[in-house]
Amino acid sequence: MSTPDALAFRFFSLHVVRTRPLGPSLVRVTFAGDDLAHFHSDGRDQSLSLFIPAEGRAEPGVPIEEGENWYAAWREQPDDVRAVMRSYTLRSLRREPDEIDIDFVLHGVEPGAAVPAGPASRWAAKAKAGDKVVLIGPAVADNRAIRFRPPEGTDLVLMWADETALPALLASLETLPAGMPVRAWVEVTDAGDIQDVETAADAEVTWLVQDGSCAEGSPMALGAIKEAELPPAEQPYVWLAGESGCMKEMRRHFVGERGVDRRQVTFVGYWRRGLSEEQLREQPED
């Protein structure tokens, strides 16, 4: 989401309330602010655009005052002023008080990491109460930045996520009706990142611990999925989210080998190996 829709999306100026580690590689940051009174979402895999301050600055440089021209003005700002924009998933929304949670992956922040952390991970690792951010989020509960949409008549939900899409998977599971059959596979890089699953659905979640060397098709997950014995279903729905290359073979498997109608497969590339988010935004969609 690069520009806010005049009706469905708006800017929110927020600050950090608290942080909580969820595992060796994950931290939850809770945000608050008066603007959240206007924040509405049906949850699931709700996407947000988060702006954090440029290195050395206390506030994110986002020219909100430019109105519809904010994006061009933001791009023209000097590098040491322009806020860093990254896409994240809403993990939860609460009222009284108004708060939202966003979960961050912290790979690369440890000393000597083979691949250095990106700016958002570095920011989240050091975030403290009072730190300021801006985000583009939903002002309408049911909006186009929600992709997890099992159609009416779905009798089996199949899901795959890596750590970047874990908040989206967990939040989506929480919305499913009681008894809905679900089979999900989640890839994490450390067993300490495995989380409790809360859902009324009949969900079987398989956690796969790997070293993060995801190649196209994600061999560990794809192997587990191919070997899985799935419940019988007439209208299965598939949701895949995470590294773009990892989803291709899975999508082919579900459509070509499992016979799932390709129109009932939702796939969301959260990142692509070897590309920054800025570069990914410039890539054509698959």
Q: Which pLDDT score is estimated for 107?
A: 73
Q: Which pLDDT score is estimated for 272?
A: 60
Place of tokens 């250095």: 116
Q: What are phi and psi of 250, to 5 degrees?
A: -65, -45
Q: What's the CA gap between 171 and 184, in Å, rounded?
A: 13
Q: What's the CA gap between 188 and 205, in Å, rounded?
A: 13
DSSP 77-103: S-TTTBPEEEEEE--EEETTTTEEEEE
Q: Per-residue pLDDT for the chain (286 aa), expressed as one digit of tens each?
A: 445 555 799 999 999 999 999 999 999 999 999 999 999 999 999 999 999 999 999 999 999 999 999 999 999 999 999 999 999 999 999 999 999 999 999 976 555 544 556 899 999 999 999 999 999 999 999 999 999 999 999 999 999 999 999 999 999 999 999 999 999 999 998 999 999 999 999 999 999 997 654 544 455 788 899 999 999 999 999 999 988 777 788 898 999 999 999 999 999 987 665 444 444 445 554 4
Q: Which pLDDT score is estimated for 71?
A: 95
Q: Which pLDDT score is estimated for 149?
A: 97
Tallying the residues shown for the chain, one arrives at 286
Q: What's the CA gap between 160 and 167, in Å, rounded?
A: 12
Q: Which pLDDT score is estimated for 223?
A: 86
Structure tokens at 69: 């021209």
Question: Can you say how many angstroms the Cα of residue 114 is from the centroid of all Cα atoms in its chain?
Answer: 23
pTM above 0.85, yes or no: yes
Q: Which pLDDT score is estimated for 50?
A: 97
Q: Which residues pair with 166 in a beta bridge?
A: none
